[in-house]
């Protein structure tokens, strides 16, 4: 981790602090281009948007996939106040971004955050209807 990495990581933590002080959940992220330019930053807006997916990492991954050419995205780093959750990590993996630098790990986050009950389990059922379900896939590819 370079001094510039630490500078941008501190900026992500500052964004998280401001978000928490304003009533949002305390998470912040930014994207930094290969030349050290801050491209975009955002914070968690799960509360104000009433959107369970409004994590800053997901919003920035979507922005990168939409707005950046693949070679630019590959040279772009996401700095984020906590290790991305599985939802965000999946989006980041699809976004073309080249690197993620985070402050708190998921394990450290769980140690710092007050204990919360786990969400109720979701029952997944399948596979089913193989012949019917494969048709749109085969027709597309
Ligand atoms: Zn997330």
Q: Ligand 1 centre and the CA of 20: distance in Å?
A: 16
3-state secondary structure (DSSP) of residue 110: helix
Q: Ligand 1 centre and the CA of 130: distance in Å?
A: 32
Q: What is the pLDDT of residue 23?
A: 97
Segment 14-46, tens digit of pLDDT: 999 999 999 999 999 999 999 999 999 999 999
pTM: 0.93
| CA–CA separation, 83 and 85 (whole Å) | 6
Rg of the chain (C-alpha set): 18
Q: Tell me the torsion sign for CA atoms 26, 72, 7, 79.
A: positive
Q: What is the pLDDT of residue 53?
A: 98
Residue 116 has pLDDT above 90, yes or no: no
Segment 40-70, tens digit of pLDDT: 999 999 999 999 999 999 999 999 999 999 9
Catalytic residues: 57
Q: Which long-range contacts (CB under 8 A, 24 or more apart) does 20-28 make?
A: 23/47, 23/48, 24/48, 26/81, 27/55, 27/56, 27/57, 27/80, 27/81, 27/82, 28/56, 28/80, 28/81
| CA–CA separation, 113 and 96 (whole Å) | 31
Q: Ligand 1 centre and the CA of 141: distance in Å?
A: 30
Q: Ligand 1 centre and the CA of 14: distance in Å?
A: 18
Segment 89-103, tens digit of pLDDT: 999 999 999 999 999
What residues sit around ligand 1, an ion, with C-beta below 5 angstroms? 55, 85, 88
């Amino acid at each position: 981790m370079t001094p510039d990495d630490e500078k941008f990581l501190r900026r992500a933590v500052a964004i998280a602090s401001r978000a928490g002080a304003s009533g949002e959940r305390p998470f912040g992220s930014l994207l930094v281009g290969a030349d050290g330019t801050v491209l975009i930053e955002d914070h968690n807006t799960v509360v104000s948007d009433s959107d369970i997916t409004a994590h800053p990492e997901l919003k920035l991954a979507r922005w990168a996939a939409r707005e950046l050419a693949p070679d630019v995205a590959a040279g772009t780093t996401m700095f984020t106040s906590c290790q991305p959750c599985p939802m965000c990590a999946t989006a980041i993996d699809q976004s073309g971004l080249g690197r993620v630098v985070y402050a708190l790990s998921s394990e450290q986050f769980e140690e710092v955050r007050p204990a919360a009950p786990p969400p109720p389990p979701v029952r997944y059922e399948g596979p089913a209807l193989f012949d019917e379900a494969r048709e749109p896939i085969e027709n597309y590819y």
